[in-house]
Amino acid sequence: MGSTFGNLFRLSTWGESHGGGVGVVVDGCPPQISLSEEDIQIDLDRRRPGQSEITTPRKEADRAEILSGTFEGLTLGTPIAVLVRNKDARPEAYSEMSEKFRPSHADYTYQAKYGIRNWQGGGRSSARETIGRVAAAAIAKKVIQKCFAPDLEILPFVESIGALQAEVDTDTVTREMIESNIVRTGDPNSVEKMIDYIKEIRGDGNSVGGVVGCVIRNVPVGLGMPVFDRLEADLAKGMLSLPATKGFEVGSGFEGTKMTGRDHNDPFRMVDGKVRTTSNRSGGVQGGISNGENIVFRVAFKPTATIMTEQETVSTNLENTELTGRGRHDACVLPRAVPMVEAMAALTLVDHMMRQRALCGDSQR
């Protein structure tokens, strides 16, 4: 319960950090979409640990196996199951966690909720679970491109790390700019500073948070459903379902609350025969529905909970005690959060595209 996402393009992820593996079943992928394991691997590689000097050193190749749902390189329209085995599990690094709740982790809440938990590596609450999402989203992106919006681009990037703020122009940033550096920021001037800062924080046994910004370009008009399933509501849910997230804002966001309507409204103008807005404080959604402008949003990630310093906590015997972090962790999750944000955006969009097609047909777009 709770591991399923989407109404039509519906995925169920499964798996724990230190169990037999992690994976996903996608029930609702359109047929005749070209799909290979390599299509999925590309995005898993962007997500996997050990990909650079500023990510966790856990060594996981994260090789994806497609178990069903394709035939001769094309999707069948039936469920696609993807399996990634866990390889570099080191449960012994977590033995102390079997007896103590790690502060600001999910150890205590899982125990309280279920009366049981897999204490090895965080079990189901590990970010390793996002493998299933990233794999499903790799499929979703192929569906979007083939069936719905060939030119659509989802471009998340690191906007800030701690107090270090990058300058990124959402109209011009490219995937190449973002992927060209291991921080995945869209601002070349910030790269070195951010890398140095992460290393410094890590050297100190500490951790840091940050913000991922995201722009989605070439979005069809008309995606999103009144009144509960507004596009921004479903994006917010998708983003807040990622580990370590604490906030979401779209368009003008919290800053926009300080403006007056006169300054905030986006005037409509005809441009090249299309209805356009001359500003985009709406962030590409109006009344919960995409208006064809860039969708722009931001996601807050808190500092990694695992730190290499002694902290106060309580034991599973409900006694006060202390705990020092162990295991292999990212001192800053932001670079690896980029493909996760991209995944949740793609999964949200493809589902709304299929819903819109169900309701209004192909001709509507």
- Are residues 64 and 83 in contact, defined by beta-carbon separation less than 8 angstroms? yes
Residues 132, 26: Cα–Cα separation, whole Å: 10
Nearest distance from C-beta of residue 176 to a second copy, angstroms: 26
Phi/psi for 22 (5° steps) reads -135, 160
Only segment of 48-56, 166-174, 181-189, 280-288 that touches a second copy (CB under 8 A): 280-288
The residues in 115-134 that bind a second copy, with binding defined as CB under 8 A, are 115-118, 123-125, 129
Sketch the per residue contact string, 99 through 118, with a second copy: x for CB under 8 A, - otherwise: --x-xxxx-xxx-xxxxxxx
Q: Which CB, 171 or 263, lies closer to a second copy?
A: 263
Q: How many residues does the chain have?
A: 365
> Encoding tokens for residue 205?
């046994």
Any contact of residue 56 with a second copy (CB under 8 A)?
A: no
Tokens of 17: 């950090």
Cα-only R_g, the chain:
21
Q: Of 198, 219, 239, 340, which one interacts with a second copy (CB under 8 A)?
A: 239
Residues numbered 185 to 214 that lie near a second copy (CB under 8 A) are 201, 206-211
Identity of the residue, 24 or 154, whose beta carbon is nearer to a second copy in the bound complex? 24
DSSP symbol at 145 = I
Distance CA 140, CA 203 (A): 38
Is 43 or 266 the residue whose CB approaches a second copy more closely? Answer: 266
37 binds a second copy (CB under 8 A): no
- The correct pick among 56, 185, 290, 294 for binding a second copy (CB under 8 A) is 290
- Judge whether 157 and 338 are in contact, CB under 8 Å: yes
Torsion of the alpha carbons at 245, 238, 114 and 23, rounded to the nearest 10: -110
The CA-CA-CA angle for residues 342, 343, 344, to 5°, reads 95
CA 238 to chain centre: 8
Q: Minimum CB separation from a second copy for residue 146, in Å?
A: 11
- When asked if residue 20 is in the footprint of a second copy (CB under 8 A), the reply is yes
Q: Which is nearer to a second copy, 172 or 281 (CB)?
A: 281
Q: Give the interface segment with a second copy, choosing from 40-48, 53-61, 171-179, 252-260 (CB under 8 A).
A: 252-260
Helix (H) or strand (E) run with residue 215 in it? strand 210-217
Q: For residues 25 and 138, which CB has a smaller minimum distance to a second copy in the complex? A: 25
Please return the burial class of 76, using the count of CB atoms within 10 Å of its CB with bins 0-12, 13-18 and 19+.
middle
19 binds a second copy (CB under 8 A): yes
Q: Which of residues 324-353 bind a second copy (CB under 8 A)?
A: none
State the minimum distance, in angstroms, from the CB of residue 165 to a second copy. Answer: 10
Asked if residues 305 and 103 have their Cβ atoms less than 8 Å apart, the reply is yes
Question: Phi/psi of residue 271, each to 5°?
Answer: -135, 120
74 versus 175: smaller Cβ distance to a second copy: 74
Q: Which of 96, 147, 326, 328 is close enough to bind a second copy by CB under 8 A? A: 147
Chain positions 303 to 322 lying near a second copy, rule: CB under 8 A, are 303-307, 309, 311-314, 318-320
Q: Which of 50, 222, 326, 328 binds a second copy (CB under 8 A)?
A: 222
